[in-house]
Structure 1
Amino acid sequence: MAKVTAKNLIDEFKLELLNNEEDVAFRPITTSDISRPGMEMAGFFTYYPAKRIQLLGRTEMSFYDTLSEDEKKDRMVRLCTYDTPGVILSRGLEAPTYLLDAADEVGVPILRSDMKTTRLSSQVTNFLEGQLAPMTAMHGVLVDIYGVGVLITGSSGVGKSETALDLVRRGHRLVADDSVEIRQEHDGVLVGQAPDLIKHLLEIRGLGIINVMTLFGAGSVRNYKRIGLAIHLELWDQKKQYDRLGLDEDTIRIFDTNLPKMTVPVRPGRNLAVIIEVAAMNFRLKRMGINAAEQFTEKLANVIEEGDRDDY
């Protein structure tokens, strides 16, 4: 899991740090959930989610202004704990003195934004979900083909990078080569990207490392892509029975997501780029409810049924 701090929020959303010490901005954030402490402002801290970012908007601060001085101080002291990763004030609201004092006491960063509360909450939540999502790295190539993120896997030297180069030449976009960083941002949603060190680079044996964006233009690459299909390349095995109809549905499990998987045998004379390109188009058709294999099977069953009737 990536490490996220209040400094990342400051840089991403142009927030203003209101504390005297800038070191507090490096306190880690461990959850993407955000709390709007309305009940806490009323004094109910029994189930206070202290490890979440606390977002104070016009509603919370309007109620806060109705409290007595002792209550105001008590609420802010209890709001700022050693576990609290930060407090954000929306709409450019002024930070109460009690809040600043309590925050400096335990090192909680106090941030301010000019955005509306609901919009700020949504954007910060989406950002944290993306940054804190579980991540793993897989050996393979990720290409955007007709809007479908296709993860190409296989043993070293089977031709993954060469196939990706052919796909780029055909107008598709490279996301990552050799190593793909995969995050599960939501249930059933896998997003892949390249490590910064090898972003936009492609390794071709005998040719070396090439920069795809420099050679083919900015339209030939993209920084990240949701993965919809996995295609595994393997050397042709004469003893193995390969699917010839497309009815078998295999999957590969990454985190909690079952990703559709196809196995494509490799041997001289097969144009892998065209096969993978058609596989991506066929995958899109299946998502739209058009399955050629099932339609063929249904027609074949009807022909057989009609033949049996004629025999009688």
Structure 2
Amino acid sequence: MENQVSVRQLVEDNDLKVISGEEFLSSKFVTVSDISRPGIELTGYFDYYPSERIQLLGQTEVAYIQELSSDTKKDIFKKLAHEDTPMFLIARELDATPELIEASNNKGIPIIQSTLPTTRLSSLITEYLDQELAQRQSMHGVLVDIYGIGVLITGDSGVGKSETALELIQKGHRLIADDRVEVYQQDEKTVIGEAPKILNHLLEIRGVGIVDVMNLYGAGAVRSHVQIELVVNLEQWNKEGNYDRLGSGEQKQSIFDVNVAKITVPVKVGRNLAIIIEVAAMNFRSRKMGFDATKTFEANLNKLIQENSEKEEN
């Protein structure tokens, strides 16, 4: 079954006003995030009319409609009000004509109004629908916000993910999700993680039980969602393991169609994982800003080798 959003949910979540068709709100669903502004359709051309989209009427469309005769309006709106049209959305608190109300009521289509300008309204609704209609997947791990960087901590059960997250929270960072992380792709380069509603603000610590982070540490210790930019995989220490010591080996983890930076941190008695992950996030942010300590080290090393080589030649 394809993802869909009821018109009622869309109206309630975005503080929109119902002009007519209140009784149709729960039976109409939006299945695509694209929005249609019927321009050429108002002139009578319907060969490529995207009837399954929200039909948005702005100041330009309403001004044009007002110039039409009543019979023309009835004919146009009869074609616009298709059976699979989820809703008519009118910007700037502009009025719906009686002909539009009649046509929409005949096909069970609600008419919704907003105070926002057309372009802002279109952006708001498109962004909302992109999020609500996005394909989702559930990932095992803990998601925290460290200095604005969304860090997904993964690893086998019992490796210490939740305990590490708790220490990070005590250091002032924010929890998004523990145990299960709901992930969706926002655009070609961005994946967003959030907590399932049943696990919002909750953290499970073995031997203690369920901890309500928001209740214990305040609203500043939690966040509803964050872009996942770094995956930190915790792995039990293996002396035979080949671990990156210089940070020159770039790993990636594919989440949907997005490649997210990844590092593997070996877990060993005496290692402070919270500090290590905090530094990893800071180092990742530093690289994004253009400073790479590994490249600096390699450049200094190459310079030293060259200087020694020149001395030997002399």
Under a length normalisation based on structure 2, what TM-score does the superposition of the two structures give? Answer: 0.95
Q: State the one-letter code of the partner of 1:111.
A: I
**Structure 2 unmatched runs, 5+:** none
SS of residue in 2 equivalent to 1:26 = coil
Q: Quote the Cα distance in structure 1 between the aligned partners of 2:163 and 2:303.
A: 43
Residue of structure 2 equivalent to 1:223: 224
Q: State the one-letter code of the partner of 2:69.
A: S
Contact 1:252–1:261 (8 Å) recurs in 2:
yes
Deviations 1:42-94 (A, max 9, x none): 11212211111111122111111222333211110111111211111122222
Q: State the one-letter code of the partner of 1:202.
A: L
Residue of structure 1 equivalent to 2:73: 72
Residue of structure 1 equivalent to 2:163: 162
Aligned pair count? 312
Q: State the one-letter code of the partner of 1:298.
A: A
Contact 2:89–2:111 (8 Å) recurs in 1:
yes
In structure 2, relative to structure 1, the CA distance for the partners of 1:127 and 1:270 (3 Å cut) is: same
Deviations 1:176-199 (A, max 9, x none): 000001111111111111111111
Q: State the one-letter code of the partner of 2:164.
A: T
Cα distance, 1:309 vs structure 2 = 1.9
Deviations 1:146-187 (A, max 9, x none): 111100000101000010011111111111000001111111
Contact 2:32–2:53 (8 Å) recurs in 1:
yes
Contact 2:54–2:88 (8 Å) recurs in 1:
yes
Q: Quote the Cα distance in structure 1 between the aligned partners of 2:47 and 2:155.
A: 53
Contact 1:6–1:27 (8 Å) recurs in 2:
yes
Q: Quote the Cα distance in structure 1 between the aligned partners of 2:268 and 2:4.
A: 44
Contact 1:140–1:179 (8 Å) recurs in 2:
yes
SS of residue in 1 equivalent to 2:20 = coil
% identity of equivalent residues:
50
Q: State the one-letter code of the partner of 1:5.
A: S
TM alignment of 1:253-272, pairs within 5 A: 253-272=254-273
SS of residue in 2 equivalent to 1:299 = helix
Residue of structure 1 equivalent to 2:42: 41
Deviations 1:111-136 (A, max 9, x none): 12222222222211121122112211
Residue of structure 1 equivalent to 2:144: 143
Residue of structure 2 equivalent to 1:298: 299
Q: State the one-letter code of the partner of 2:101.
A: L
SS of residue in 2 equivalent to 1:229 = strand
Cα distance, 1:20 vs structure 2 = 4.5
Residue of structure 2 equivalent to 1:252: 253
Under a length normalisation based on structure 1, what TM-score does the superposition of the two structures give? Answer: 0.96
**Structure 1 unmatched runs, 5+:** none
2:9 matched to 1:8? yes
In structure 2, relative to structure 1, the CA distance for the partners of 1:259 and 1:192 (3 Å cut) is: same
Q: Quote the Cα distance in structure 2 between the aligned partners of 1:263 and 1:13.
A: 41
